[in-house]
Structure 1
């Protein structure tokens, strides 16, 4: 196999806390699949922590881990978002965001202190998270005549393919997810069925 078709992410939200010289850093880790999910999470944390000074974050997205962004939210450049991101990189996690909420304790921590605080809070949150491994799946829509149903279902069952949002009519349509490593074999079997057409939708 030429590529890795699994990735690691967190199963659900988790949090971790780090304190230093009166400042409190609360890290929240959330699984996400797109950047748009971050805004409402941030808004809800701002409501929950009206007296907090900073809401710094970093995220990574996509199974190949190619998309990431970070935000220092007013902290000195490179002292907040970058250590959060580096922690995600070293844990090799993707499809998640970590937001660290900071309450200022009155004493400046300096650059090394800030880097350590944001990193440690993130490490704590990840330690409390359940890390899961997911497979990289390609999503396809397959359409076929009703008469081919038994044949299609036999292939899907034998290959352990999950069926998403099926519609059964004279012309049937099913969305399926195929693990990348098995893609050619499964598509080969499906496309051998008369009247079946497979259309690529995207990768998840």
Structure 2
């Protein structure tokens, strides 16, 4: 199992114009091939009057399942360039459909490859892509004398709080990648002379969303 990989948190849509042809890229997150195929069919119904609805998808944390289609465009000019973008960006559990409304001018093989690649990149830029990290929640309990040192250690590592409770003592909660847990615990223990209690939660997946750490499915 990988410790981290990129996925679509929120799909998006964008388009480019190439010699009066419209290339509309629609991106969505998916967890299975069935979901990907259902999304592709929905796009074909939505854009039923378009000349082509080409697609590509990558599913599995290691990209175990990768498929694409030119949907009537010359072989290798649409689906494969789209798939190459997804694989190059190393995004998983993603499907993209590029809808083409023909503008009356032939683009040629090179022009089609560039158009489908560029529109796919535009669709990705319009989406929210996150890095899914395997980690756990660490609860840190300290008195007010140790609070400053704990905050300093977390700040030095760029670790943001996800929760804090201030009563007679202080309880802080953070999300840590699995590979950093023992190191952070050791630094806090040493920095506070062992006056801190720490409790590890269950393993989970988390990501930085709008600059804040959040648990994700």
Question: TM-score, normalized by length of structure 2?
Answer: 0.62
Partner Cα separation in structure 2 for residue 38 and residue 4 of structure 1:
22
The residue correspondences of 1:121-140 to structure 2 (distance < 5 A) are: 121-135=119-133
Of 25, 29, 32, which aligns to 1:31?
Answer: 29
Of 58, 78, 82, which aligns to 2:80?
Answer: 82
Partner Cα separation in structure 1 for residue 100 and residue 114 of structure 2:
13
State the Cα distance separating 1:136 from its structure 2 match: 5.3
Partner Cα separation in structure 2 for residue 178 and residue 132 of structure 1:
15
State the Cα distance separating 1:48 from its structure 2 match: 1.8
Count of aligned positions: 144
Secondary structure of the 2:61 match is coil
Secondary structure of the 1:160 match is strand
Aligned residue for 1:54?
Answer: 52
Higher strand share: 2
What are the ranges of 5 or more consecutive residues in structure 2 without an aligned counterpart? 136-197, 206-216
Partner Cα separation in structure 1 for residue 96 and residue 68 of structure 2:
10
Over the aligned positions, Cα root-mean-square deviation in angstroms equals: 2.0
Question: TM-score, normalized by length of structure 1?
Answer: 0.65
Runs of 4+ in 1 over 6 A off after TM superposition: none
Partner Cα separation in structure 2 for residue 85 and residue 46 of structure 1:
18
CA deviation string 1:54-97 (max 9, x = no partner) = 11111111111222111111111110011101111121111101
What are the ranges of 5 or more consecutive residues in structure 1 without an aligned counterpart? 138-156, 162-176, 180-203
Aligned residue for 1:99?
Answer: 97
